[in-house]
Amino acid sequence: MWLAQEVIRRKRDGKVLDEADIGQFVKGIGDGSLSEGQIAAFAMAVLLKGMSLDERIALTTAMRDSGQVLAWELPGPVVDKHSTGGVGDLVSLVLAPLLAACGCYVPMISGRGLGHTGGTLDKLDSVPGYCTQPDPERLRRVVAEVGCAIIGQTADLAPADKRLYAIRDVTGTVESIDLITASILSKKLAAGLDVLVMDVKVGNGAFMSDPEQARALAESIVAVANGAGVKTRALITDMNQPLARSAGNALEVEEAIALLKGEVRSSRLWEVTLALAEETLVAAGLAPDLASARQRLMDAWRSGLALQRFSRMVEALGGPLDLAEHPWQHLPQAAVVRPVFAEGEGLVQGIDTRAIGLAVIALGGGRRRPEDAIDVSVGFSELTLPGEAVDAARPLAMVHARDVASAEEAARLLRAAYRLGTAEVAVRDLISARL
């Protein structure tokens, strides 16, 4: 007779669970036969005692199989990317159409903002009419015809993860690398991928500020995903400053469009995007090496093919056809837009990136509670980055706010996030590891 409490006890005592026990436990999470207390106890036992690689693979695949697993019949590789999140991280909006223009098919399942980090779905909510929850047939049609579709998780994909995550969130077990790995990958693997590339952020604007923790997570994800049959690579990238020049939903969509049109406002944003795309093309067998992959990506960008894919995706999912040509005719704009000047002058020495994300939330551009509605028009644009000068003529950024009072409060928070000085600033390594 199978007993959940025996599985919990064995993991509590540091024993290795077999695949059948893990599968049965995940089945109980998904069908509701296990209580919240049992699930919480299991999560805490995993947090404290850890899991072997085989256990992680078994947990991930069982959670993947707790709902629908998509299957594709397409003439090219099915690929996706996942980021652990940051501030100004709009990579997905550029990466998906760029990869589609190079022969990939990208059913990109994205999330909403979490804590101080922005969410790709919240950004796309600023596009009038864009449907982030299409029915399965529409998703299949858009991916097949356009090559990419950026959407949200449906209730049918990895439902066991949804229940487990909600319990982890209130029981102090979110930090388990074993459970983080299974949570991320169960949803991604349910999308029927051939290739996955991970962007694990590290720094003061990332969820993981410790480089050793970030590397441990990246290694875990690569090992488990490859063990589950999906070719997976990971980059560990710097998040000690905003990735883009903007932070805020509509503002980031406009910057993504500008980048697809050829305007590189943040060289770091473009470099991370290209690096992730290179790894994807090589893993997918569409380029023999990183240099060849970069040339193919640059050709797709310069020719406008990537921009065309973005426009077709937006239209196919209900948005305006001419969004790329006239973004500010469609994207919502804040009522108050004004510069934020520093109290002194000098070179930007460093930025508390997390504080900028929190300032966007204070403006109304993020959630304090899961059920909160957000104002997609607010945020910051033209952010000054480390090594650049600010003075009476060059502001730290432009603040976009719903009213004067919130603009002033956000300006105060932004000033506090910047550290100025006179020393030349060393350029940080953008990519610290490729796995």
Catalytic residues: 80-83, 120, 168, 183, 187-188
User: In whole angstroms, how far apart are CA 16 and each of 2, 179, 430?
Assistant: 16, 15, 38
Question: What is the number of other CB atoms lying within 10 angstroms of the CB of residue 51?
Answer: 24
Pairing of strands 397-401, 336-340: antiparallel
Residue closest to 197 by CA, chosen among 74, 284, 122? 284
Is 308 buried (19+), middle (13-18) or exposed (0-12) by CB count in 10 A? middle
CA distance 97 to 104: 9
Specify the 3-state DSSP secondary structure of 145. Answer: helix
Distance (Å, whole) CA 41 – CA 8 = 7
Spatial separation of the C-alpha atoms in residues 139 and 109, rounded to whole Å = 11
Give CA–CA dist 264/272, Å, rounded: 12
**Beta bridge partner(s), residue 79:** 195
Distance, CA of 57 to chain centre:
22
SS percent in the chain: helix, strand, coil, step 5: 45, 15, 40
Tokens 């998904």 found at: 30
